[in-house]
Structures are given as C-alpha cells and as structure tokens.
C-alpha cells in the first residue's frame, strides 16, 4: 500500500504505474482518493479546532462560574453543546472517509522497480540466466505420476474418493523422498544463516489483507466457516504476520527466517494438461524464506534469496533458469519479482518451481511493521522466496534423476536424508 502523501504529491507517477501494469480501470481511483483525502484533512482540521475551542470554553465556563456569572456561563455552555454536535458529525465523517480512503489505497498497485520489464502478462516475462545444462536423455521419460506409480508411490484414486480432485496420497519411497527434500531444504537454509521456524497454519483476516491483494485473497484462500481464520496459502503469510504492530531497533535487522508449513490453495482457474497429477493441487508442503530489512538493503537481499533457490536445485543436479516477471504479471503489492524455473526433460522446457519477491514497504505499511532508527521510525521492507515446494519439485527431481532402467538416482547431498539410499528402484 502506498503512502497517501506520495499519491497526493505524485498523482501522475501513480497513474503511469497503473498504466504500466495494464490496469487502466483503476486510473479514476487516483483522483477519487486525492479528493477524499482533501475532505478528510479538512474534516480533521475543523474537528481539531473544535476540540481546542472546547478546552478553551471549558476553562472560560469555570472562570465565569467562580465569578458568579451563571447566565454568561450558560451561554458558553450552549455554545459548547452546539460545537459538540458538530464535532460528533465531523468524527463520524472522518471515520467514513478514512474507511473509503483505505479501501481505495488497498487497491492501487505498488510502484514497480524501474528495472521491471513492461508487459501485459506472463507470456512477456524475460529470461535472465540459466544454471546447469538442460539434458534430454535418449530414453522416454514418462509422466511424473507414471514414474511415481512404478514405485507404488502415489494413489490419486483413493485421494479423489476421500477429498476430491487436487489431492493425493504419497506412499513408500516417494513419500520418503518428499520428506527428505523438505528436511534437506530446511538444513540448507539453516546453514545459510536463516532461523528455522514452524509458523501457525491459520491466520486472521487482518493479516491476510496485510500480506496480499483482495484479488489474490479471493483466488487462493480457504476461509474457516464461522471464525475469523484462513488456512495459509504459503507460510510467508504468517511469517510476515509475525511482525505485525512491531517496532524493531534498526541494529536488530535484518530478520532472516526460513519456515516449514503445509499450504492450502483454491487454485481458481487451474487448467491445462500439464496441471494434472501433482503439478497444481489444493494441498502441498513448502519450505519458505522471508526477510525483514532496512529499505536500502532490500535489493541486496532480493538477489540473495533467489540465488539460494538456484543453489539448492543445482545441488540436486536439476538445471534451472530465472525469469524476470513483467509489470502485468506482478501482484499489486510487489515491487519486483522473478520466478525460478526447473528443467523438464519430458516437456523439453522449464516450469515454475519458486518465486522470489521484493514487496518494498507495502506489507509493512499495512501491518504496521516499523523500524526504530537514528532519525526516527520508518517502515521496513519485506521479501519472500520459495526454497522448495514439493510435490511439484518432485516432478523436476524425478525427471532429471530418472535412469534408463527406470530407477531414480539420489544425489549425494540427499542420501543422508534417505537412509543412505543411492537410488530408488522399481517395486
């Protein structure tokens, strides 16, 4: 969320940013919120004057009563009563205006970084860099669920009967591989200096609206009926929420956390042949990383975060690339974002396995996450990135480590988490 003062002083910058994000329908909101802000400030100024007058008249009444001038005191009391009625009107008006302003400000997108390419949607995202040599073996690679079935590792039919589409049972060595990847990712991030955390898996609505846009909330979040609670779609939500209404001394920054959690998503609009199986699902597990830092340090941490994911995938012998998200593909709170995509030998293309984002002070402003610095208090910057999110990550792992005889090689770094196994063999 932007600072209303910034919008007031830079309306054309805000409008151009909206155009760059191809959200022209929001352009009238800028003038509307500026007008509402003007009315709000005028109402507040008048209310402040009336409060000051009330204090002055109250002292005057006391003085007149001490002097025995009751009639004059009564006249002043009548003026106080009249002012009180007007003050009540103004306070109600202030509340209504603030509510309308906040609703609009929560809708106006954050100012994107100048380096972000301008484009309408994800088809115009820009490849940045490739890591590792993509290989297509000289034998056929089955669909990922077919690979899992050769190890008796998945049961979609039973899951469909129990929970419906978008759910799964992982079994045996595949389930163990899933847990091994999560455990390895946890230790990988701890070794890089991040503090491990297991957060709440449900959050209140004020945290939800603090970390994401209304459109994202509607498309992703599951609401707990009858309670002010939502199932998290990713642990960054509760991880950033951990700092709500806090003031952190500047010398205690940055806060670098890595978290494990299950995640739950509606996945509205999911479609396409490559989204069957366990590619796009309603429930999965994830290792996440977040940073809360000083504004001037967020570009540096952005690079640190996406490189962590690249390094983890390369340690598992999986080729990856980074893709810069264009303006139209950025969620409203994001300043800058890139996807990490893994190579699929079967599809002969890359697919998304993680996303790294710098949100500037947007989440901090909504959640009131502040820093106490030498020159006063200011809003922190927040960033997040996926470390690894199986079972989607398992697709890349199985395809890139599948051998001609149908077995799956276990990279050396993962072997301690698999009980020393060097490969998974068909049942």
Per the domain annotation, does 361 fall within a domain?
yes
Cα torsion for 214, 219, 222, 228, to the nearest 10°? Answer: 10
**Cα 14 from Cα 1, distance rounded (Å):** 12
Q: Token match 């005057």: residue?
A: 60
Per the domain annotation, does 68 fall within a domain?
yes
Does the predicted TM-score (pTM) go above 0.85?
A: yes
Q: 45 and 11 in one domain?
A: yes
145: domain CATH number?
A: 3.30.930.10
Radius of gyration in angstroms for the set of CA atoms belonging to the chain, rounded to a whole number: 28
Domain boundary among 50, 78, 105: 105
Q: 211 and 338 in one domain?
A: yes
Taking a C-beta distance cutoff of 8 angstroms, is the pair 321, 341 a contact? yes
Per the domain annotation, does 116 fall within a domain?
no
Q: What is the pLDDT of residues 93-147, one digit of tens each?
A: 999 999 999 999 999 999 999 999 999 999 999 999 999 999 999 999 999 999 9
Tell me, what's the pLDDT at 201? 96
Tell me, what's the pLDDT at 268? 58
Taking a C-beta distance cutoff of 8 angstroms, is the pair 306, 340 a contact? yes
* CB count in 10 Å sphere of residue 395: 25
66: domain CATH number?
A: 1.10.287.40
384 pLDDT exceeds 80?
A: yes
Tell me, what's the pLDDT at 274? 44
pLDDT tier at 309 (50, 70, 90 boundaries)? very high
Tell me, what's the pLDDT at 271? 46
Task: List the structure tokens of 22.
Answer: 């191809």
Q: 79 and 129 in one domain?
A: no
Q: 85 and 157 in one domain?
A: no
Q: 40 and 164 in one domain?
A: no
**Domain boundaries, position 277:** 122-424
Taking a C-beta distance cutoff of 8 angstroms, is the pair 380, 369 a contact? yes
Per the domain annotation, does 85 fall within a domain?
yes
**Cα 268 from Cα 256, distance rounded (Å):** 31
Longest CA span, the chain: 107
Of 390, 395, 392, which Cα lies nearest the Cα of 417?
Answer: 390
Q: What is the pLDDT of residues 4-59, one digit of tens each?
A: 999 999 999 999 999 999 999 999 999 999 999 999 999 999 888 888 888 787 77
Domain count, the chain: 2
Q: 69 and 36 in one domain?
A: yes
Per the domain annotation, does 412 fall within a domain?
yes
272 pLDDT exceeds 80?
A: no
Q: What is the pLDDT of residues 200-230, one digit of tens each?
A: 999 999 999 999 887 788 788 999 999 999 9
332 pLDDT exceeds 70?
A: yes
Tell me, what's the pLDDT at 275? 55
Q: 268 and 144 in one domain?
A: yes
Q: 418 and 370 in one domain?
A: yes
Tell me what the mean pLDDT of segment 337-346 comes to: 97
């Amino acid at each position: 969320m932007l600072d209303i003062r910034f919008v007031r002083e830079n309306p054309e910058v805000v409008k151009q940013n909206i155009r760059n994000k191809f959200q022209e329908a929001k352009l009238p909101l800028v003038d509307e919120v500026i007008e509402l802000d003007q009315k709000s400030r005028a109402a507040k100024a008048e209310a402040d004057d009336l409060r000051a007058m009330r204090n002055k008249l109250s002292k005057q009444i006391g003085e007149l009563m001490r002097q025995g001038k009751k009639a004059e005191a009564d006249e002043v009391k009548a003026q106080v009563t009249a002012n009180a009625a007007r003050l009540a009107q103004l306070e109600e008006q202030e509340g209504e205006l603030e509510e309308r302003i906040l609703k609009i400000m929560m809708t106006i997108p954050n100012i994107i970084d100048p380096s972000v390419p301008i484009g309408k949607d994800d088809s115009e995202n820009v490849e940045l860099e490739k890591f590792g040599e993509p290989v297509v073996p000289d034998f056929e690679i089955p669909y990922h669920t077919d690979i899992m079935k050769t190890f008796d590792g998945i049961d979609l039919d039973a899951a469909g009967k129990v929970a419906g589409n978008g759910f799964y049972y992982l079994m045996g060595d595949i389930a163990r591989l899933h847990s091994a990847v999560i455990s390895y990712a946890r230790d990988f991030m701890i070794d890089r200096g991040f503090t491990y955390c297991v957060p709440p898996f449900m959050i209140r609505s004020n945290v939800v609206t603090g970390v994401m846009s209304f459109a994202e909330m509607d498309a992703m979040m599951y609401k707990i009926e009858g309670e002010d609670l939502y199932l998290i779609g990713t642990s960054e939500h509760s991880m950033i929420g951990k700092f709500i209404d806090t003031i952190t001394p500047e010398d205690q920054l940055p806060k670098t956390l890595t978290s494990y959690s299950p995640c739950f998503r509606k996945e509205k609009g999911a479609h396409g042949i490559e989204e069957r199986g366990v590619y796009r699902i309603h429930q999965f597990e994830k290792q996440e990383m977040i940073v809360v830092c000083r504004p001037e340090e967020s570009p540096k941490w952005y690079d640190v975060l996406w490189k962590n994911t690249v390094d983890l995938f390369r340690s598992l012998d999986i080729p990856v690339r980074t893709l810069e998200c264009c303006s139209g593909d950025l969620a409203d709170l994001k300043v800058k974002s890139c996807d990490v995509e893994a190579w699929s030998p079967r599809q002969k293309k890359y697919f998304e396995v993680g996303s790294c984002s710098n949100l500037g002070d947007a989440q901090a402003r909504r959640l009131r996450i502040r820093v106490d610095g030498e020159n006063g208090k200011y809003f922190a910057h927040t960033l997040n990135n996926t470390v690894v999110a199986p079972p989607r990550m398992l697709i890349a792992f199985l395809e890139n480590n599948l051998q001609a005889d149908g077995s799956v090689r276990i990279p050396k770094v993962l072997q301690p988490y698999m009980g020393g196994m060097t490969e998974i063999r068909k049942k």
